[in-house]
Amino acid sequence: MPTILTLYEFSDEHAKQIRDIAPDYELKTVPIKEVTPEQIREADILVGWNRKMEQAAVESDTLKWVQSWSAGVDYFPMDRFAEKNVLLTNSGGVHAIPISEHIFAVLLSMTRSVHLNIRSQVRGKWDKNGTYGEAAGRTMVIVGTGHIGRATAKLAKAFGMNTIGVRHSGRPEEYIDEMYRTHGIEEAFGKGDVIVNILPLTDDTRHFFDKDSFGYMKKGALFINVGRGPSVDTDALVAALDSGTLSGAALDVFEQEPLPEDHPLWKREDVIITPHVAGNTDHYDVRATEIFIDNLKAFVNGETLPCNLVDYSRKY
């Protein structure tokens, strides 16, 4: 009997749905820390991932589909999967609400100097220093306008902001006032009061935000990174902060994680650091499971997987 091996515990209700959809499959649950290479090699469908299981996965003669529990897939052996015709789907869309809300949490914090007020509170100081601006009327440039970018743009419009999008195709998107292709960033960045990075990590996006990119930005812009850490050249980011090109930055992801304790970013008052938690939510597992179930319905019928099928040629 073919096997669905899940490294995550499904609820009783979801497990019943899965068994009803795929009655010819055995549903086997093994905690991620306990799974063995042999179990990986024998699975037909794998739900979840750990980098330590890569060798067993690419050696498998039965594995047909991997459902990632994360949205990012840059750490998967995509070339090997493509060679073996193994499908890969991610959990894109799970993060749209928490990450878009996180973006506005840090945006409003920096716009209203709440981050400085909190630091003063820790020191026991009544200190009104800081700038007290407004989000309304400002222009947000969203780089990467998928599920998260669309949700972020919707919130931006609710706050009375203007929205500009940057995406590879240049295709229009709801809640985006203007859309630019990636080769049009010089003009787009020059209009932005807030630049939000939501890019996936590919060969084309590694160090997408470099010295030139930061140089295109309007002086005093705020930079928010909830995409992938290596899409930003950290040295160029620090230089942009030092020069005043950026008035501040809110960073959830980094080239090196955890961010080293002696890194200069920790001590900057114009920076908010969060430890890669923007996508965390207590609704995560339910949403990811629903994506898997929608894909499973198609898989057992021999149809194209409808949700988040990774294009190996584009690496996302």
- As a whole number of angstroms, the distance between CA 106 and CA 155 comes to 13
**Is the peptide bond preceding residue 31 cis, with omega within 30 degrees of 0?**
no
Question: Phi and psi dihedrals of 183, rounded to 5?
Answer: -80, 0
Give 160's Cβ-side CA count (13 Å radius): 4
**Count of beta carbons in the 10 Å neighbourhood of residue 25:** 18
β-pairing, 246-251 with 271-273? parallel
Give the bridge partners for 104, in sequence order: none
Query: Among this protein's residues, is 101 annotated catalytic?
Result: no
What tokens were used for 69?
């529990």
Nearest to 214 by CA among 200, 197, 199: 197
Query: Among this protein's residues, is 186 annotated catalytic?
Result: no
Identify the active-site residue in 95, 138, 150, 228.
Answer: 228
β-pairing, 178-180 with 194-197? unpaired
Query: Among this protein's residues, is 228 annotated catalytic?
Result: yes
Identify the active-site residue in 187, 257, 269, 303.
Answer: 257
Identify the active-site residue in 19, 80, 268, 276.
Answer: 276
Alpha helices in 184-314 (DSSP H): 185-191, 211-216, 234-243, 284-300
Residue positions annotated with a catalytic role: 228, 257, 276
